Amino acid sequence: MWRRAGVVAAGCVVVLAAGAGVVLERRGELPWSQAEATQGFTLVTPATGPSPTWSAAPGVLDAPATAGAAGEPAVGEVLAPTLGAAGLGGRVGVSVVDLTTGVTSYETAGADPHTPASTLKILTGAAALHALGPDHTFTTRVVSGPDPSAVTLVGGGDPTLTAGDDGPGTRLADLAAATAAALTEAGVGSVTLSYDATLFTGPAVDPDWSPGYVPSVVSPTTALAVDILDRPSDPSLDAAEEFAALLGDQGISVDGDPVAAAAPADGTELASVASAPLATVVEDILTTSDNDGAEVLARHVALAAGAPGTSADAGPAVQAALTELGLDASGATLLDGSGLARGSAVPATLITGALTLAAGPDHPELRAVVTGLPVAAFTGTLADRFDDSAAAGLVRAKTGTLTGVSALAGVVVAADGVGYAFAVLADDVGNTLSARAALDDVAAALAACGCA
C-alpha cells in the first residue's frame, strides 16, 4: 500500500508502482515515454524524470482537449439516467468539473451541504498537505531524564507506527534497537518506562461519533499508537507495552509496568524514528479509508494552525486550511477528519474544488490527494467494485458510507480524453447496496462520456 500511487493525466489513468507507471487505458500527450508492454498493460517511465522535490513536480494535465463535434451530448444529459436511480434516494448533491479548464461541467445541488461520510478524507488530506507539506514526517522519540535509567516513549502523532517486523509503516522495533544501543553504550541495562501522548489533548473519542463506532471502526485518537487497526482499548498504553517487550528482545529489561507521564522538558534524546513522508501517509489513508489516520492528520492540522490538538479544533482547522487554498469552504461544517461524524456537512463543489487543485499544475504539494484515490476494480476500497464495468481502471475515487449515506468522489478520464473531477453525495438512501451500484453507474457513465 505504501508504494503504490497513481496520477490522472490528459487522456489516461496511470498507476505508479516502484517507479514505473502502468497506463490502463486512453493514452494521450503525456510527459512519459513508453518502455514496454507487459501482461496487457503498458509500462512507462518518465521521459526526463520528474524532479524529486515536490516544488518542481510537473502538472498532471496537458493543454485543454480539442472540443468535440457540435451536437455531442452535455455531461448532464449523459448522467441524467443514472442520477435518477431510485437507489440514490431523495437528497443528492452532484458536482462535475472539467479538470483541464476548471469549469463546472454539471452541477445539481452541488453547493448544498450533504453528509460526506468518508469522502471527507479528501479534504482532510488536502488540508494536511497544505498545512504541513508533502515531505513532512512524524517522529516518535525516546528520551531520558536526569536518571539515565528512567526513559520516556514520546508519541509524535505517527499514524503508521507498527510493531511488525515487515510490511509498511514506521517500525517500533527500529526505535527499540536504537534505544537499546544508546542505553548499552551508557552502561544502562535496566530501565523504568513511561509514555507521553500529550501532543494531542481533549477527548480521545470524538463526542460527535456514534458510541458504537469505538472500537469497531475507529480507535480513540492519540499521539502514540501502534498497529492501531488492532483496536486496543488504550492505544498509548498498548504502544508502551509493545515497546517494553521490544526493549527486552534487545537485552534491556523494563522494571514494572509502563506509566503515563510527560517527558522531562530537558530530557536527552536517546533515539528516534520518523515516518514516511506525509504524501505517502495521505495516499495510504485514502486508499484504505483509514479512519484513525485521518483523525490523526486532522489534529495535526489544528496544531499547525496554532490551535490545541483536539477533535473540537481539528474540523475548523481543516476548514481554514481549505480556505487558505482559495476554496469556498463557507458552506461546510466539519466535525472530524474521517467523516464518521454524522453532523458534518460538505458541498459537493468543495470536494471537486479540492480535487481540481490536487490534479492541476499550481499545487503539486497536493498531488497525493489524487494519487491516493483507489482505482476502480484494482486497489483499496474500489478493488471489489466496477469488476464488470468498462470503467474499470479509469475511475479513481474515494468511497463514503454511513447508514443512510453513500458517496463517491474522485477523478476520471472520459472516452473523449477529458479529465473530470466529480462528487456525488447522497445522504437519504434506503439501501446501501443499491446506492453503491447507482454511484458506480454514475461514474461509469461519466467515464463513457463523449461530451467535450
Domains annotated on the chain, with CATH = 75-134+280-448 (3.40.710.10), 139-276 (3.50.80.20)
- pLDDT of the residue at 73: 82
Distance CA 388, CA 303 (A): 45
- pLDDT of the residue at 450: 85
- pLDDT of the residue at 168: 85
Q: Is 121 among the residues known to form the active site?
A: yes
- pLDDT of the residue at 381: 96
Q: Is 434 among the residues known to form the active site?
A: no
Choosing from 105, 121, 194, 398, the catalytic residue is 121
Span 44-70, pLDDT tens digits? 222 333 332 322 223 333 323 333 344
Strands 268-274 and 253-254: unpaired
On whether the CB atoms of residues 288 and 228 are closer than 8 A, the answer is no
β-bridge partners, 407: 400, 425
How many other CB atoms are found less than 10 A from the CB of residue 362?
11
Cell numbers found for residue 69? 463535434
Q: Is 95 among the residues known to form the active site?
A: no
Distance CA 207, CA 341 (A): 9
Q: Which of 421, 418, 318 is nearest to 62 (CA)?
A: 418
Indicate the pTM of the whole model.
0.85
Choosing from 105, 144, 219, 289, the catalytic residue is 289
Residue 211's contacts (CB-CB under 8 Å, 6 or more residues apart) are none
Residue 380's contacts (CB-CB under 8 Å, 6 or more residues apart) are 1, 286, 287, 288, 289, 374
Quote the distance between the C-alpha of residue 156 and its chain's center. Answer: 18
Cell numbers found for residue 189? 541495562
Please, where are the H alpha helices in 274-426? 278-288, 291-304, 311-324, 348-359, 368-371
Residue listed under C-alpha cell 463546472: 104
Q: What share of the chain is helix, strand, coil (3-state, %, to 5)?
A: 30, 25, 45
- pLDDT of the residue at 370: 97
- pLDDT of the residue at 12: 39
- What is the rounded radius of gyration, in angstroms, for the C-alpha atoms of the chain? 23
Distance CA 27, CA 13 (A): 8
Quote the distance between the C-alpha of residue 157 and its chain's center. Answer: 15
- pLDDT of the residue at 177: 97
Q: Return the C-alpha torsion angle 86, 88, 90, 94, nearest 10.
A: -130
Quote the distance between the C-alpha of residue 350 and its chain's center. Answer: 16
On whether the CB atoms of residues 4 and 15 are closer than 8 A, the answer is yes
Residue 10 CA: distances (Å) to CA of 64, 65, 412: 8, 8, 10
Choosing from 95, 105, 118, 389, the catalytic residue is 118
Residue pLDDT tens, the chain, 452 long: 333 333 333 333 333 332 222 223 332 222 212 222 222 222 222 233 333 232 222 333 332 333 334 446 899 999 999 999 999 999 999 999 999 999 999 999 999 999 999 999 999 999 999 999 999 999 999 999 999 999 999 999 999 999 988 778 999 999 999 999 999 999 999 999 999 999 999 999 999 999 899 999 999 999 999 998 899 999 999 999 999 999 999 999 999 999 999 999 889 999 999 999 999 999 999 999 999 999 999 999 999 999 999 999 999 999 999 999 999 999 999 999 999 999 999 999 999 999 999 999 999 999 999 999 999 999 999 999 998 888 999 999 999 999 999 999 999 999 989 999 999 999 999 999 999 999 999 999 999 998 86
Cell numbers found for residue 373? 484515490
Distance CA 220, CA 213 (A): 10
